Amino acid sequence: MSENEVEAENEEVCAEVQEDNSEEAVVEESAVEDIPKEEAKEEEEDFKSKYYYLAAEMDNMRRRFNREKESLIKYGNEKILSSLIDVIDTFDHSMVAIENDEDEKIQNICKGIDMVRGQFLDALKKNGLESIEAVGEVFDPNFHEAMAQQPAEGKKDQEVIMEYQKGYMLNGRLLRASKVVIAKND
């Protein structure tokens, strides 16, 4: 249900309540004469507090609806993008397998695959997918998954020295952690 439909429904309910209140007002006018002024004020305060409560509840519902809508727009394509990451991995594996071949035809195929991969990554980036930088960074368990530790000269302790599998984020949310090897210095 869209926000405009919700507002239209709320206006209809308010109109019905006003009609009911006008009918009750005629009945209440004769009853008001019998009710002391203090009770009438208490009743009026009670109605006001109920009105304010309902108005606040509607406002909270509208905000919650807007947050959920924004979340759906922002992360709704998470499932399909996570499955497309496997396609990127396949492109990367293909490139590694054929990039060192010296045959000119194979090199042309490699360039073509790289161009398609680049276009594919640009399209995914426009939809909020970002790769996680790993090699040379300090190990962060929020973004990296350590697969092994190796001694490495010239590297800081806990520095990522190799990446097995690239990690990705979708609009700031981790989609897949980078699988890495980190330096272990004694």
Residue 144's φ and ψ, nearest 5 degrees, are -125, 145
Q: How far apart are CA 89 and CA 149, in angstroms?
A: 23
Whether this prediction's pTM lies above 0.75 is answered by no
**Using N-to-C axis directions, what is the helix angle for 3-34 and 37-75, rounded to 10°?**
170
Longest dimension (CA), the chain: 104
Whether 15 and 70 share a structural domain: yes
Whether 44 and 84 share a structural domain: no
Question: For residue 65, what pLDDT is reported?
Answer: 92
Residues in CB range of 144: below 8 A, 6 or more apart: 132, 134, 137, 160, 167, 177, 178, 179, 180, 182
Give me the number of domains the chain comprises. Answer: 3
Whether 150 and 112 share a structural domain: no
Q: Is the pLDDT assigned to residue 23 strictly greater than 60?
A: no
Whether 89 and 55 share a structural domain: no
Whether 100 and 121 share a structural domain: yes
Domain extent at residue 119: 77-127
Question: For residue 90, what pLDDT is reported?
Answer: 85
Average per-residue pLDDT in the chain? Answer: 80
128: its two tokens: 């909020």
* For residues 147-161, average pLDDT: 83
* For residues 87-97, average pLDDT: 85
